[in-house]
């Protein structure tokens, strides 16, 4: 499976993360979900944060992350992450687009959230709750194609407090980074 090459979404999240980390203690425990190339984990490392776990469903990405020295685990969302393992910050740049039949199977793992563009995001938010420490937070990216109104409503209905942290208008879509807290 193809490892996702950093793109506009990756750079928006990485820049947002860099500023977000300025107010955090260096010893917080971070999970980089869907780590891919490791760009977000590298941003944490470059900002002096060492306690980072990378997770990805793609074995190739895990091999690549391990070669770079990142503590990494192959996992479909939180499936292989111990129930007792809790984090102060969870970062996720997920696959966030609705299914496109013309897209090659190999890249769908990086881009396709499900038929409607938000399925994996909702699944992630549901599972992430029990992996957050008290006062922990999530930085999650999604797009105008992910049906943001549905994501926000479902998240709020399930008890999350949400806040937009950054956004970027592209020619054909808008990207958003939101903070989610319990």
Ligand X SMILES: C[S@@+](CC[C@H](N)C(=O)[O-])C[C@H]1O[C@@H](n2cnc3c(N)ncnc32)[C@H](O)[C@@H]1O
Alpha-carbon Rg for the chain, nearest whole angstrom, is 15
Cβ closest to ligand X, residue 137 vs residue 146: 146
- Bridge partners of 54, per DSSP, are 32, 72
Q: Which of these ranges, 33-41, 129-137, 151-159, 163-171, lies near ligand X under the rule CB under 6 A?
A: 33-41
* CA atoms of 140 and 90, how far apart (whole Å): 8
* CA atoms of 107 and 64, how far apart (whole Å): 17
Cβ closest to ligand X, residue 77 vs residue 140: 77
The least CB distance from residue 164 to ligand X, in Å, is 18
User: In sequence order, which residues have a C-beta less than 8 Å from that of residue 27 and are 6 or more positions away?
Assistant: 51
Mapping DSSP to helix (H, G, I), strand (E, B) and coil, where does residue 13 land?
helix
Q: Does 36 bind ligand X (CB under 6 A)?
A: yes
Cβ closest to ligand X, residue 95 vs residue 117: 95
Q: List the interface residues with ligand X, window 65-84 (CB under 6 A).
A: 76-77
Mapping DSSP to helix (H, G, I), strand (E, B) and coil, where does residue 150 land?
helix
The least CB distance from residue 33 to ligand X, in Å, is 6
- Angle at the Cα of 59 from the Cα atoms of 57 and 64, rounded to 5 degrees: 115
Tell me the residue nearest to ligand X as measured from the CB. 34
Q: List the interface residues with ligand X, window 143-162 (CB under 6 A).
A: none
**From the list 57, 81, 132, 165, which residue makes contact with ligand X (rule: CB under 6 A)?**
57
Q: Does 40 bind ligand X (CB under 6 A)?
A: yes
* CA atoms of 33 and 30, how far apart (whole Å): 9
- The percent helix, strand, coil of the chain (3-state, each to 5) is 35, 30, 35
Q: Does 89 bind ligand X (CB under 6 A)?
A: no
Total residues in contact with ligand X, by rule CB under 6 A: 24
Contact footprint for ligand X (CB under 6 A): 4, 6, 10, 13, 33-37, 39-40, 55-58, 61, 76-77, 93-95, 109-110, 120
């Amino acid at each position: 499976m193809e490892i996702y090459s950093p793109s506009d979404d990756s750079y928006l999240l990485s820049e947002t993360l860099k500023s977000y980390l300025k107010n955090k203690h260096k010893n917080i425990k971070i999970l980089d979900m869907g780590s891919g190339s490791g760009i977000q984990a590298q941003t944490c490392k470059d900002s002096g944060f060492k306690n980072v776990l990378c997770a990805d469903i793609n074995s190739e990405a895990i091999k690549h992350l391990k070669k770079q020295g990142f503590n990494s685990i192959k996992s479909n969302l939180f499936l292989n992450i111990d129930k007792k393992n809790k984090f102060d910050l969870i970062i996720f740049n997920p696959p966030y687009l609705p299914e496109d039949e013309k897209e090659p199977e190999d890249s769908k793992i990086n881009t396709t959230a499900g038929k409607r563009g938000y399925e994996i995001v909702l699944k992630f938010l549901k599972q992430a709750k029990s992996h957050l420490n008290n006062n922990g937070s999530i930085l999650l990216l999604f797009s105008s194609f992910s049906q943001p109104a549905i994501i926000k409503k479902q998240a709020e209905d399930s008890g999350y407090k949400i806040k937009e942290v950054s956004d970027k208008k592209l020619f054909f879509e808008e990207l958003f980074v939101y903070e989610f807290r319990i």
